Every structure is written in structure tokens, then in C-alpha cells.
Amino acid sequence: MRRLQTCLHRLVRAHHTSSRMQHQTSELRTPVCAVGDEAALQLARQCLLGGQVIALPTDTVYGLACDANNETAIQRLYEIKGRDEHKPVAICVHNIEALRRFGQAAHLSDELLTRLLPGPLTIVIERTAQLSNRFLNPSTSKIGIRIPDFNFMRDLCAVWQEQPLALTSANRSSAPSSLQVSEFRSLWPQLGAVFDAGRIGLTEERRLASTVIDLATPGYFEIVRAGVALKPTLSLMDEFGIRPRKML
């Protein structure tokens, strides 16, 4: 209970910093919680409800996340990332049911999806009307959807009222992705909180991030990014008779 009160007190203090201090370094005011801390999920949820961007671990690299249907939060995510607003970001959901709610996946069987997910894979399909944010990937009707194989991420999606989280890697655009929180320390002052799982992954290969596969066209696939799960993903495409539309 004491750790919970400490983390939440730090969050409140960060929210009520005077304007005189806003231009000074705020790294020390950004709450940093271990993912195993009893306060972590509640703190993350409060940040998301407040429209903030948070940093958290996934099954590949550390990511930046926010409420995918909050217009202000999405714009803030792009600003922190230094990313062109026309470059799409993915969403993260809790389970296959949620994937079908936000993406048009009637042509993808439950058997296929449960073989692919959860894991280090982003599935690109047409979005549904449940994704109502006009600033979320405005240049495409498609959406990349992830179900990371990482308990903290999935638990957060579950307590986040089954709503999607926008998700991108925790680094400035064109910079290497991060395997530990110290590698994106320069972004901390702009974040609502940082959730620390220590170093994730033992090899540099993890920085390749998730494999991205476009499955929007029934019966066909296109590899958008090779990532860390290319070989098993291609094996499953062959097993299920899904043909390549365009290879790397």
C-alpha cells in the first residue's frame, strides 16, 4: 500500500507542477514504476485516462502507448516520437475478440489468429468504425493490430475497459529501438510514467521489433517489415494456404 501511495503521489505532483518549472528538466518528476509493482496498472490507467503517453515493455522492445481513440493523446504521441503523422502506428488489444472488434478479420479463422497471436507480430487489416480517432493513421483505412506476449501489456489492455492502445516503439523516429528504459531517458520528461521491466531480450536481434504482415486481402499476405518473427509467420502462411502478394 505504501508503494501504491508513493507512485500515485509522484503522479499527482507531476500533474500539478507550476508553469514556472515547466521549462526545466522534469525527468525526476516522471514516475518510474517496476511492472511488478502493485501500483503499476492503476498508475498506467490513470495516465491513459488523463490523455498522457506512457512508456512500457512489450515482447519485443519498449514502446510508447496512449489511448487510441483520444485525439489529443495521439497527436502528443506523434510529437514525442518526432514522427510524420502520415506514418501509421499500431494498436494493442487484449485478445482475439478485441482484434475483431477493431479490425475487419472475418476472413481470418480463429485457428489462424490463435496460432499467430499473442506474439511479436503486427497484423494489418482494414479498420472498423470502432476506431473513431481521425488523427489515427489518417492516410490509410488499415490498422496494424498487436497482442503482445507480455503480461503487463495484456493486463493493461484488460483493465483499460477493453479499449485499444496506440503503440509505437520508445525512441525518436529513425533512432534505434530500446531494450531498456535508460535508452530513451531523453523522452522521460514528456511522458506520464515509465514502466520498467529491466532489459527485455538478451540479443540485439530484438531491436528489429515485431514482424508486420498485411492480411487485409483474403487469401493473400504481404510482409511489410521482417521483424523478429518472420520465419514462423511464413511457415504458418504456407500451412494455411495463404499466398504471398509481395515479398521483401
- Residue 193 CA, chain-centre distance (Å), reads 14
Strand partners, 246: 222
pLDDT per residue over 165-198, tens digit each? 999 999 999 899 999 999 999 999 999 999 999 9
Return the sign of the alpha-carbon dihedral for residues 51, 52, 55, 56.
Answer: negative
pLDDT of 164 reads 93
Q: Taking residues 103-124, what's their average pLDDT?
A: 98
**pLDDT band, very low/low/confident/very high, at 205 (cuts 50, 70, 90):** confident
pLDDT per residue over 21-36, tens digit each? 343 444 458 999 999 9
**pLDDT band, very low/low/confident/very high, at 163 (cuts 50, 70, 90):** confident
SS3 content of the chain, % helix, strand, coil (to 5): 35, 20, 45
Distances (CA, A) of 134 to 90, 141, 221, 245: 14, 11, 27, 29
Q: Global pTM?
A: 0.87
- Is residue 126 pLDDT above 80, yes or no? yes
Average pLDDT value over all residues in the chain: 89
Q: Between residues 160 and 6, which one has the greater pLDDT?
A: 160
pLDDT of 160 reads 83
Q: Taking residues 64-92, what's their average pLDDT?
A: 95
For residue 20, the one-letter residue type is R
**DSSP 3-state assignment of 62?**
strand
> For the domain bounded by 32-243, which CATH number is listed?
3.90.870.10
Percent of all residues in the chain with a pLDDT value above 90, rounded to a whole number:
77
- Residue 145 CA, chain-centre distance (Å), reads 9
Q: Where are the domains of the chain?
A: 32-243
